Amino acid sequence: MQGEKLAERFGWRRLSTGELLREAKDPAITAIMQKGELVPHDVFECVMGEAILGAKDIERIILDGFPRSMEQAEWLVKSRPEHGRAVGSLIVLDVSKEELLSRLSLRGRVDDTPEAIDQRFAVYEHESRPVIEYFAQQGIPVIHVNGEGTIDEVHERVVEELTKRGFVK
Binding site for ligand AMP (CB under 6 A): 17-18, 21, 32-33, 36-39, 65-66, 68, 72, 120
- Residue number with the shortest CB distance to ligand AMP? 18
Q: Which is nearer to ligand AMP, 38 or 90 (CB)?
A: 38
Closer to ligand AMP by CB, 2 or 72: give it: 72
For the bound state, the minimum distance from the C-beta of residue 148 to ligand AMP, rounded and expressed in Å, comes to: 18
Give the nearest distance from C-beta 117 to ligand AMP in angstroms: 10
What's the first-to-final CA gap in the chain, in angstroms? 21
Burial call 32-63: b when 16+ CB within 10 Å, e when fewer: bbbebebbebebbeeebbebbeebeeeebbbb
For ligand AMP, the closer of residues 44 and 167 by Cβ is: 44
Residues 76/87, Cβ–Cβ less than 8 Å: yes
Q: How far is residue 76's CA from residue 63's CA, in Å, rounded to a whole number?
A: 11
Q: Count other Cβ atoms within 10 Å, centred on residue 139.
A: 7
Least Å distance, CB 40 to ligand AMP, is 8
